[in-house]
Structure formats: structure tokens, C-alpha cells
Amino acid sequence: MTGVEDTGPVVLARELAKSYGERVAVSGIDFQVPAGVCFGFLGPNGAGKTTTMKMIYGLATVGDGELRVLGMDARRERRRIKARIGVVPQETNLDGDLTVRENLIQQANYFGVSPEKAAPRADELLEFALIRDRADERIHALSGGMKRRLLIARALVNDPELIVLDEPTTGLDPQARLAVWRALERLRREGVTLLLTTHYMEEAARLCDSLLIMDEGRIVAEGDPPALIREYAGREALELDLAEECDPGALLESLGERANGHEFHDGALTLFADDAEELLRSLDHERFPTETAMVRRATLEDVFLRLTGRSLREGE
Amino acid sequence: MSYEPGYAGLGGGLGARDLIPSPRHAAAIWRRNARVFSKLWKGALLPTFLDPFFYLLALGFGLGTYIAHGINGIPYKEFVAPGLIASAAMWSSAFETTYNVYFRMNELRLYDNVLSTPIEPADLVAGDLAWSASRATVYGTVVLIVVSAVGLVSSPWAILIPPFVFVGALCISVIGYAFTSLIPKIDLYSYFFTLGITPMFLFSGIFFPFNQLPGWVEVVAWFTPLYHLVEITRGMATGPDPLQILINTAWLAAVTAILFPIPVRAIRARLVP
């Protein structure tokens, strides 16, 4: 992990924008990824996360604005940047004509390492990905979770200073997802800078030290997960399933400043407050009858809903 | 995920720096393809042994018996045999740079991974082309061994044929690769083969000489790479004229160099938009 200290942030974007023909994918965003953290991009599909990642790892040209990766200009120093980062793409693109071990050795070869020198490192990485016993099998014999762990191992062959992960657990079952999270947590402890995109708020909350919420090509909020929740939702949420005769407008009016905010969806009212229990007790239950009431901790999902009026998973 | 890549064109202009491959990085691509071929070669080479046998049987020994005086003083079997070395190389190059490259690029999505390592489009294309030509040289050499074994090669210079096959295959490969990098869907290969490869196979002087045909036929053939490769292999197998060999080799090398930027730019436009 050398060479980062003297060059400032690992990734620096100023007014970064990208369009594909008429379609605007990223419209002028500014952010900085400091060294040694896990930095997350949270947002729904089509928010511009993947395009931003692709500009960083060289699979999309930089549109407008400035993008510096490890201190280098992403427009002009693509080959040198790519030599020092690791990429876990959204789509599994392992080499199906090669075995598991050969995939790692061949990847090292793309980085200029000879097969003889790559072999011990490949064994280490197979150990890391918990697939050493599958080393000589073909890719199609692996489960989805194993393929994803192999993709992460493959991204480590060049000892990268920065690893970019585009939706590392999308499509995995909960157990496989947990295994991927553990692998990423191990990397973070080793001090590697992680940059990941996700539309799972549990993932963002668990892994990320710092988070940036994107929607429709723009950044809508930024901060560490607890601070974002405090700022945009409060500590807790009160979910009310309103009875038919209950008037939500009047209910909200009666609360005044006691709720930090609210969301109303199909007869379900979510109220945000630092103490939702207290808020529930203070409700006039005679005037505003409810079918059910539930107090829970506020989450990033609530933050996203409040910022955009939409759910993270909408349209999935 | 769609497997139809769509049309991306040639994209914006690239600087000279983007068009010159790095040999070290191109070699990594070559090595990947060679590694895969090394697992499959036994199955892949057998048809290559049989193919020239069938052509020789049908044309050389079948049709050839009706051509009593041979062609230009050469028995018909010996006339056809060196052409089959060139055609084996052409078919190998054509399949490698169409279906095989298409599959790696659009179905396995291997090039997305490759291009996010230090490898750039020029390295990728150069490595794939060098591999395609290497594979074609293996196939051409197999045919050379077969026709030599049955006594259809009269000049010892024939032993130098393989490197020339490499040059000719490189030229055919760059054309196939350019086509693959530009087509929006796989169906268009039928045009490539029916309008390009098959006519080239039939009309490049493998099966009959041009001297009895109208002059324009040879002029058209002159613009195809196979014509030049057949001139070289037949010259080498029957007694070479150094100047002819040099001119034909220069044609193949020059056309390869002129066409090389097309797939590089198209791959860049398609995979790094």
C-alpha cells in the first residue's frame, strides 16, 4: 500500500459527467475516496453507479469533468491506473475455458507476471476464496457464491491498492452473501481501499465507513451510515397501518414538530423520530385508529425513501 | 443480459500511441488462447488431417484423371496440393476470428475483464491475431506434411512454407476480426462466409489457373489475400521465384498493417464507450 500517502485521495472526481448518446448516465458529481476506507455508492438500478465505476477502472471513457485515480489522470494514464487496481465486475466474466486455478494464473499473466511466479500467489488466493479443493475444476462446476469469491480473488492477483466492486453480492443467497461480506471485511482490515456499489442497504450499513447516495446520475447525500440515518430519518421509525376512517393529514397536523418527517405509502404511514415509542404513546388513538403499529430502528432504506420518494428496490 | 452487441462503429480517432500494441501484453492474450487450444488440439486437428485427403481424392485423383496433361506442365494433383495448405490456413483464420472471437467477446465477456487489466485494445487485437495466425500455421503445416507424405511436393523449398502461411493467415485474420468487431449480430457471418470466404476459396487459383480466363478475373483475385498465399505456397512447393515470393509477402504484410487499426478502433468503441 505505497504511493497513496503523497497523492491525496485514492479517487478524486470533480464535475464528473458521462452520457451515452442522448442518455445522461452521470451528471456532474464531486466526491473523494480517502485511502484505507470502505467507500460505498448506494442507489437503485440506473442511478449511474456502474458508469462511475467503469470510468474509474477504464471500461468507459471519462465524459466531462475531472477524474483522478491514485493521483493519475483517468483520461491519459489508463494502463498505469489499471495496473494498480483490482476490479470485481457486476457480471461474472470468469474464463469458462480454463480451470479455477488457471483463471488466477492467466489473470496474473495479464498483469505481466509469468505463470511460474503466479502459481504460489494463486494458491494463496484459492485459500482466501475458500475454494482450494476446487482448484482444478472448470468454472461452470462452481456455485454462484464460489464464482463471486473467485472473482474477488482474481481482483487481488496484482496486490491492488484499490479494489472496485460493482454490486458484489447481487443475486446471491443470504449464506453466500455473508461469505462475501466476510472476505471483504478481511480485506478492509488489511488496509486495502474498497470502493463498492450496492442497492442493498444492509450491505452498505454493514461494510461501508462512508457512503454516498446516488439517484438519477446525481449525488443526493453523503456521510457515514449512522450520520445519514440521524440526519434524514432520526433514530427510530414508527410504522402505522392506518384504519380506513383515519385521516392521515389530520394525524400529521396533530403531531406538529414531534416527528422528524414521514412517508405515506398505500395506507401505511411511516413516522421518523428519535424516540418512536414515546411518539406512539402520545398519539390520540381515539381520533386516529390504527390496525397495527410497529417501532423499529430507522435504516438507510428510510433515508433513500425520504430523499427520493422512492424505494431502493423499486422496479426490480 | 443481451448477447447481441449492437453496432458501435469505429468511435473517435485514436492517437498513434493507442494503435501500437505492447508485445508483452499481446503475448498474454496469445498465451491464454494457446492454453485453451492445448486442451482441445487432439479433437481439433483430426479433421484437418482428413480434409485435404478428401479434396485430393475428389479433385486430384478424381477430376484430375480427366486433365491428362496437367496444368502448366505440372500434374493436376501437384497443382492443387499446395493450394490446400493455403486454404486450410484460411478456413482456420476465418473461424478463429469470427465465431471464436465473437464467443469470447460477447458470450464469455472475457474482453471486459481483459480490458480492465493493463491490457489495452491494441494489445488484445494483436494477441488474438497472432494466435489466429499461429493456429492457422499449425493447420497449414499439417496439410503440408500430408501432401508431402503422398509425394505431391517436388521442391525442397517447401520446408520454408510455414512462416509464409503465418503472414498470409495474419492478413485473413485481420479481415475476419474487423468484421467481428463491427457486426451488430451473429447472423451476419453467413454473408461473410458466403460472399467472402467461399468465393475466395474457389477463385483464388487453388483449383485452376487464370490464364484461360478473362483478364479481369485475375485482377479481382489479386485483391484477395488467399490469391497471394496460394502463389507463395505453390511457388515454394514447385520451385520458387524469389521476386514473386517477395512481392506476394509484401502485399500480405502491407494489407495487414493497413487494416489493423479498424478492429482496434471498433473494439475500443464497443467495449470502452
Q: Does any domain span residue A308?
A: no
Say whether both A153 and A207 belong to one domain: yes
B16 compared with B119, residue with greater pLDDT: B119
Q: For cell 424516540, what's the residue?
A: A275
Distance CA B169, CA B165 (A): 6
Say whether both A151 and A247 belong to one domain: no
DSSP string, B116-138: TTT--HHHHHHHHHHHHHHHHHH
State whether A89 and B113 contact (CB < 8 Å): yes
**B78 closest CA partner among B88, B64, B62:** B64
DSSP string, A255-307: HGGGSSEEEEETTEEEEEES-HHHHHHTS-TTTS-EEEEEEEE--HHHHHHHH
Q: Which three cell numbers stand for residue B191?
A: 454473408
Distance CA A160, CA B117 (A): 11
Distance CA A201, CA A301 (A): 6
**Which residues does chain A have with pLDDT short of 70?**
1-7, 311-316
CB atoms within 10 A of CB A70: 24
Number of domains in chain A: 2
CB atoms within 10 A of CB A265: 10
- Which of B39, B119, B271 is closest, CB to CB, to A110? B119
Q: What are the residues whose beta carbons fall under 8 Å from the beta carbon of B62, sequence distance 6 or more? A: none
Q: Does any domain span residue A217?
A: yes
Q: Does any domain span residue A305?
A: no
Query: Residue B96 carries which DSSP code?
Result: I
Say whether both A108 and A131 belong to one domain: yes
Predicted TM-score (pTM) of this structure:
0.90
- What is the average per-residue pLDDT within B222-236? 95
Distance CA A198, CA A213 (A): 10
Say whether both A91 and A27 belong to one domain: yes
Nearest CA in chain A to B25: A110
Can you give the C-alpha Rg of chain A in angstroms? 23
**B126 closest CA partner among B59, B173, B62, B90:** B173
Q: Does any domain span residue A266?
A: yes
| pLDDT confidence band for B3 (50 / 70 / 90) | low
Q: Is the pLDDT of residue B116 over 70?
A: yes
Q: Does any domain span residue A218?
A: yes
- Which of B1, B108, B112 is closest, CB to CB, to A96? B108
* Domain of residue A250, CATH code: 3.30.70
Distances (CA, A) of B48 to A194, B1, B34, B171, B176: 50, 36, 18, 21, 20
State whether B273 and A61 contact (CB < 8 Å): yes
- Which of B35, B109, B120 is closest, CB to CB, to A93? B109
Rounded to the nearest 5 percent, the helix, strand and coil shares of chain B are 75, 0, 20
Say whether both A215 and A239 belong to one domain: no
pLDDT of residue B252: 98
| pLDDT confidence band for B74 (50 / 70 / 90) | confident
pLDDT of residue A312: 65
- Which of B39, B108, B118 is closest, CB to CB, to A93? B108
- The domain boundary, picked from A200, A224, A248, lies at A224
Say whether both A149 and A259 belong to one domain: no
- The domain boundary, picked from A197, A224, A251, lies at A224
Say whether both A244 and A198 belong to one domain: no
Test mutation, B107, B116, B119, B128, chain A, max A CBs within 10 A: B116
Q: Does any domain span residue A91?
A: yes
Q: Does any domain span residue A66?
A: yes
Task: List the domain range (segments joined by +) for residue A238.
Answer: 234-298
**A297 closest CA partner among A316, A315, A270:** A270
What is the average pLDDT value for chain B, to the nearest integer? 91
Chain A residue numbers touching B32 (CB-CB < 8 A): 95, 98, 106, 109
Cα B53 to chain center, whole Å?
20
Say whether both A99 and A120 belong to one domain: yes
B197 with B91: CB under 8 angstroms?
Answer: yes
| pLDDT confidence band for B31 (50 / 70 / 90) | very high
Say whether both A130 and A257 belong to one domain: no
Q: Is A243 helix (H, G, I), strand (E, B) or coil?
A: coil
Distance CA B100, CA B109 (A): 12
**A108 closest CA partner among A90, A126, A134:** A126
State whether B115 and A58 contact (CB < 8 Å): yes
- The domain boundary, picked from A224, A243, A265, lies at A224
Q: How far apart are the first and last CA of chain A?
A: 38
What residue type is assigned to position A196 of the chain? Answer: L
**B96 closest CA partner among B40, B47, B137, B135:** B135
Q: Is the pLDDT of residue B47 over 80?
A: no
State whether B35 and A106 contact (CB < 8 Å): yes
ipTM over 0.95? The verdict is no
Distance from CA of B140 to the nearest CA of A (A): 25
Test mutation, A78, A95, A150, A163, chain B, max B CBs within 10 A: A95
Q: Which three cell numbers stand for residue A251?
A: 394525524
pLDDT of residue B51: 79
Distance CA B80, CA B83 (A): 5
Q: For strands A38-42 and A193-198, give the pairing.
A: parallel
Say whether both A97 and A46 belong to one domain: yes
Say whether both A256 and A217 belong to one domain: no
**A71 closest CA partner among A30, A35, A29:** A35
* Domain of residue A180, CATH code: 3.40.50.300
- What is the average per-residue pLDDT within B176-184? 95
Q: Does any domain span residue A303?
A: no
pLDDT of residue B223: 94
Q: Is the pLDDT of residue B48 over 80?
A: no
B36 with B30: CB under 8 angstroms?
Answer: no
Distance CA B78, CA B60 (A): 8
| Chains A & B: contacts with CB separation below 8 Å | 71
Distance from CA of A140 to the nearest CA of B (A): 12
A166 compared with B60, residue with greater pLDDT: A166
Say whether both A197 and A268 belong to one domain: no
Nearest CA in chain A to B127: A110
Chain B residue numbers touching A80 (CB-CB < 8 A): 118
